[in-house]
A = this chain, B = another copy of it.
Amino acid sequence: MADTKPLLHTCLSPALLNLYDVNNSIVVIIDVLRATSTIATALYNGAKSVIPVDSVAKCIELGKKIDSITAGERDGKIAEGLKHGNSPFEYPREFIEGKTLVLTTTNGTKLMHMALERGADHIITGSFPNLSVVCDYLLSRNQNVLLGCAAWKDRVNMEDMLFAGAVINRVKNHFSINCDSSQIAATIHSDAREGLFEFIKQKNASHYHRLSDFGLEKDMKYCLTADNAAVLPFYEDGKLVVHKYLDNI
């Protein structure tokens, strides 16, 4: 019954999003370094919700209106007018529990807003810290999936592709995959599975350079490690909240 399996595609850059059907798919937003890793971590540590906004100005504006933590970086520094950065380590339970985080990032929030504008109505976020939860959720549904890589200013990047590949290598038997980007991602992940951090370092990934120049090796190692923040961030009414499906399984 191979024909009846749902479809899985991977979109490697926001600039390619228009090629894919976001309306009838679960859209997984992937921005491994570091937006979606930080979103999972903040929610895992008890944040009430994370509101992704696509500009520093909107982040500041919303921060004035609602009781919240405003956060975002540009070029590796906390953006002017905001209070916190993009590192998952800034959001331990003792700081973030019960609070609302308003977060702007360069690529991940942009892709999410593009998907929303194109009519996506079933959006979750994926990252290594919540890898298993994402895979379990996708397997629990019988729906098409689009793995959406946030990339870096539209350029395809290694780490988002590695996460897409990690998901595919776990769920591929349950989907029909006629998508070269997905096959490439799965192959690259298989090459790297013994050590993701060493792989992106050895392969000279551009984001490895950018973040190691900012002294963020610790962030990268955390963001490439599976399952330290086992929640499913689910987009609902303008916010990412923890999906309650976990309570039912």
Residues of chain A at the chain B interface (Cβ within 8 Å): 12-13, 15-16, 19, 152-158, 161, 177-181, 183-184, 187-188, 191, 203-207, 209
Across-interface contacts of A178 in B (CB, < 8 A): 204, 206, 209
Across-interface contacts of A184 in B (CB, < 8 A): 156, 158, 161, 184, 188
Is B179 a contact partner of A206 (Cβ separation < 8 A)? yes
Task: A181 to B154: give the CA distance in the assembly, Å.
Answer: 12
Which of A12, A177, A207 counts the most B-chain CB atoms under 10 A from its CB?
Answer: A12
CB closest residue in chain B, given A208: B180
Which of A152, A179, A184, A203 counts the most B-chain CB atoms under 10 A from its CB?
Answer: A184
Is B206 a contact partner of A180 (Cβ separation < 8 A)? yes
Q: Which of B158, B180, B191 sits near A180, CB closer than 8 Å?
A: B158
Report the minimum CB–CB distance from A186 to chain B (whole Å): 8
Q: Which of B152, B183, B203 sits near A205, CB closer than 8 Å?
A: B183
6 nearest A-B pairs in the assembled complex, by CB-CB distance: A158-B180, A183-B203, A157-B180, A156-B181, A180-B206, A180-B205
CB closest residue in chain B, given A159: B180
Task: A229 to B153: give the CA distance in the assembly, Å.
Answer: 38
Task: A222 to B131: give the CA distance in the assembly, Å.
Answer: 41
Q: Which of B19, B156, B180 sits near A154, CB closer than 8 Å?
A: B19
Is B206 a contact partner of A187 (Cβ separation < 8 A)? no
CB closest residue in chain B, given A13: B16
Is B205 a contact partner of A181 (Cβ separation < 8 A)? no
Task: A191 to B187: give the CA distance in the assembly, Å.
Answer: 8
Q: Which of B19, B179, B191 sits near A191, CB closer than 8 Å?
A: B191
CB closest residue in chain B, given A178: B206
Known A-B contacts A184-B184, A191-B191; A156 and B206 likewise in contact (beta carbons under 8 Å): no
Task: A10 to B209: give the CA distance in the assembly, Å.
Answer: 18
Task: A214 to B183: give the CA distance in the assembly, Å.
Answer: 22
Report the minimum CB–CB distance from A137 to chain B (whole Å): 25
Task: A13 to B12: give the CA distance in the assembly, Å.
Answer: 10
Across-interface contacts of A156 in B (CB, < 8 A): 12, 16, 156, 180-181, 184
